[in-house]
Amino acid sequence: MNSDFPDRPPISSGPMFSAPAPLSEDEPDEIRAIWGTTVNLGETMKSFREFLRGFKIKYRVNHDREQGKHRTLGSPQEGEVVLYEQYLRRMRQTGGTNLNLDMVNLLAYPPSKKLYTQLAKYPQEVVPAMDQVLKDLMLELAEQDQSNGFDEMSGVQGEEEIAEIMTKVYKIRPFGIEAVNMRELNPTDTDKLVCIKGLVIRATPVIPDMKVAFFRCSTCQHTVQVEIDRGKIDEPSRCPRDVCASVGTMVLVHNRCEFADRQVIRLQETPDAVPDGQTPHTVSLSVYDELVDVTKPGDRLIVTGIFRSVPVRVNPKTRTIKNLFKTFLDVVHVKMGTSGTLAFDKSTRPAGGDRIPGVGGVGGAEEEEEQEARREGRRTRRAVMESKLKELSTRSDIYELLARSLAPSIWGMDNVKKGILLQLFGGTNKSIARGGGGGGPRYRGDINVLLVGDPGTSKSQILKYVHKIAPRGVYTSGKGSSAVGLTAYVTRDPDSKQLVLESGALVLSDGGVCCIDEFDKMSDATRSVLHEVMEQQTVSIAKAGIITTLNARTSILAAANPVGSKYDVDSTITKNIDLPPTLISRFDLLYLVLDQVDEMLDRKLAQHLVGLYLEDSPETAGQDILPIDELSAYINYARSRIHPVITEEASNELVRSYVELRNVGEDPRSSERRITATTRQLESMIRLSEAHARMRFSSFVEFDDVKEAYRLMRDAIRTSATDPKMGKIDMGLLDSGVGQQERKLRGDMGREVLNVLDAVGNRGIRWVDALKQLEGQSSIRIDTAEFGEVIKTLEREGLVKVVGERDRRMIRRVEGA
């Protein structure tokens, strides 16, 4: 042949792939696969059908045993229960359309092991096939139940049920593969099923996503529907009618197209997963239909989805695309996770809870375990834990036990630990219907705590510990935070190029605890945003045309160092801490953690610390402590289940305690009365007593709860609002920064200054001479700063005038004043 056609290249000895011979019937089925995959649709559907019909509990138990997990069955009959048939019946009864498929079950069932690999590698082809099998089986099971004479499937009702199933779209939501870090996602994972964990930082509004496009020919009005294929719509270039066949006349009719709900979510690495010295990675998620609006910024998620990459055009008007592709995750299953080990405050979530159809769905892992336990006649793990917690709550020393268990590596500080423990339990959030408009104001149940003390008194350690177990906890440092970083900031969305609002630390910790270290080193602008958050629990924004109010229902735990690092016991607290008095008064509890010299205490502390380095087990002096998971389960249960109500006896005691705190300011020798408590202290006592009742798993706030709240409150006030000069409590120190005694001294000093000026006449007196003259008349030392404040006050009142600079300053009396 080659001699006849010398120019033709020699024929290849390999097989000719351009036109393969037709397959004979006896060839194996595997060859008939979807191009580029090993998926044979017929075989896949058959295999999944067998799995749903044949999977029994015993396969999963056996698989778990092989993996080293110990699970037992009550009797052999319990292992023979067909699991997914029950789930399908429950879907029919509840009207659900989503079946959560645990992929470990696919692996545990011997005939479907190949299906597990195919689902993980080619989800785009396998999931639609599974959806079809699910719908077929739902119909088949409904008809089977109808022929077997089930009550709810008899007669007209049964026909209606079957007709309804025909109209619904059923979806499989696979989950259960091992989660990977989002940094490890690379091009080899494209179009595969992956699972990642992260923190939601932004969710867009709902976007309509076109599913079926409707085209009409502008010449002959012929219409045609085109389905979306892998994110693209194949627009007809000519009219499909042979009679017309006009080119470029097909027009898209928007209101006849079919759309689905779509939302884009930005998922960021959780702070604990970020390697040292790295910035957190973010991944875009696309969620559809039932999964839309399930989450909000600040939530922790475990997401299963298909990793996709799409080309980006250099310019929308040209067909040129960049060689770098944009990646995102098409989500098929979402599971709510928690930060730390505590769940978030349920009262900050939607009224119906987070169990929205399509998330919990039918057949989730927890439901599976509960169903299994119910069949076996044994209690579930949750029920066992609940009974253990209730048993714990009946102990007489539960308060001391929980306080000991909180940060056991830190020695002493019992009162501080008790205050923080009650902060973690929290009071109950209330809305009083009769007060104010629109359903009344919302009274906060969150407790704010401030720790002030000398360096090296383990303030930061306590903050780190609380952040580890706190729900939706955010840890931030004073110097490293800005005002917009705490509240919310406006940024330009890279996709839509529109200005959007990004949530800051306080909004992300809504329903949790926000820990702020180095509180005193914050700039004034940053600190000013906390005033609204700590009392109204909202963040009001008015910037870049976005005017809104965001929820920030968070407890704040802050730690601060005194001015000059060491706390001066002879000065008031406002002089020791560089914080505005209005902000200090918003904290329910203010603890002074001072480093005092005491040989016995120093020895005990040193032994405890050295023991930690030696054995890495905290010395508990023979007393038992709860492990961290039990402690967090206890707090979690109390927060979600217990909502105490104040009894008559407790309310009388609250009133009596408040009046008693107010009466401390009475002084028979003086006509003026010092303010020793305000209504903020009363509200703080109510919150603390509710938290104490929660801690006992009690539905009512009783006399003892109020007593303990009063003790904590009194101790906190005694340490923070005591005037060092008088040794008496004066709330004016916290509210205005000036105590009653100081105000009195300033008034006396002002009168004396005016007397001196009257004596010298119109020529005035030098600043230094006036100070010397006053010191000569006074029995106590006059502070230069105090003298300056008095002169400023007199100047504001228009009684004196100061001329000159620094040492040459002259004080003159204003004539006629």
For 128, 284, 402, 617, the CA distances from 623, given in Å and listed in that order, are 59, 49, 12, 13
pLDDT of amino acid 338:
54
pLDDT of amino acid 194:
92
Query: For residues 638, 639, 640 and 644, what is the CA-based torsion angle, rounded to 10 degrees?
Result: 70
Cα–Cα dist 469/633, whole Å: 10
Give one word for 439, left, alpha or beta, with left for phi > 0 and alpha for psi -120 to 50.
left
Cα–Cα dist 771/464, whole Å: 49
Residues 262/211, Cβ–Cβ less than 8 Å = no
pLDDT of amino acid 471:
67
C-alpha dihedral sign at 488, 491, 494, 500: positive
pLDDT of amino acid 359:
35
Cα–Cα dist 451/558, whole Å: 6
Map residue 281 onto helix, strand or coil. coil
Mean pLDDT of successive 10-residue stretches along the chain, which has 817 residues: 46 38 45 73 86 84 77 67 82 83 86 86 88 88 79 73 83 87 87 89 84 89 82 81 83 89 87 77 88 81 89 78 85 73 51 43 48 51 78 83 82 83 82 51 79 82 83 77 80 74 78 84 81 81 79 85 77 74 82 80 82 66 72 82 87 87 64 66 87 88 87 75 51 52 68 74 73 70 70 74 73 68
Burial zone of 216 (CB within 10 Å; 0-12 exposed, 13-18 middle, 19+ buried): middle
pLDDT of amino acid 306:
92
Question: Cβ–Cβ contacts within 10 Å for residue 598, how many?
Answer: 9
pLDDT of amino acid 195:
92
Question: Cβ–Cβ contacts within 10 Å for residue 152, how many?
Answer: 12
Cα–Cα dist 583/599, whole Å: 36
Residues 533/551, Cβ–Cβ less than 8 Å = no
Cα–Cα dist 431/445, whole Å: 11
pLDDT of amino acid 720:
60
Beta bridge partners of 171: 98
Cα–Cα dist 204/286, whole Å: 10
The two tokens of residue 399 are 């308060």
Burial 609-621 (b: 16+ CB within 10 A, else e): eeebeeeeebbee
Map residue 590 onto helix, strand or coil. strand
Beta bridge partners of 591: 451
| Complete DSSP assignment for 371-439 | HHHHHHTS--HHHHHHHHHHHHHT-TTHHHHHHHHSSTTS-S-HHHHHHHHHHHH----EE-SSSSSSS
pLDDT of amino acid 781:
65
CA angle 46, 48, 51 (to 5 degrees): 110
* DSSP state for residue 362 in the 8-state scheme: B
Tokens 């719908």 belong to residue: 135
* Whole-prediction pTM: 0.70
Nearest Cα neighbor of 559 from 505, 509, 516, 506 is: 516
Cα–Cα dist 745/753, whole Å: 12
Tokens 């040209």 belong to residue: 318
pLDDT of amino acid 17:
35
Tokens 């089925």 belong to residue: 29
Q: Could you report how far apart the first and last alpha carbons of the chain are, in Å?
A: 127
The two tokens of residue 71 are 């699970």
Query: For residues 744, 746, 747 and 753, what is the CA-based torsion angle, rounded to 10 degrees?
Result: 150
Burial 516-544 (b: 16+ CB within 10 A, else e): bbbbbebeeebbebbebbbeebbbebeee
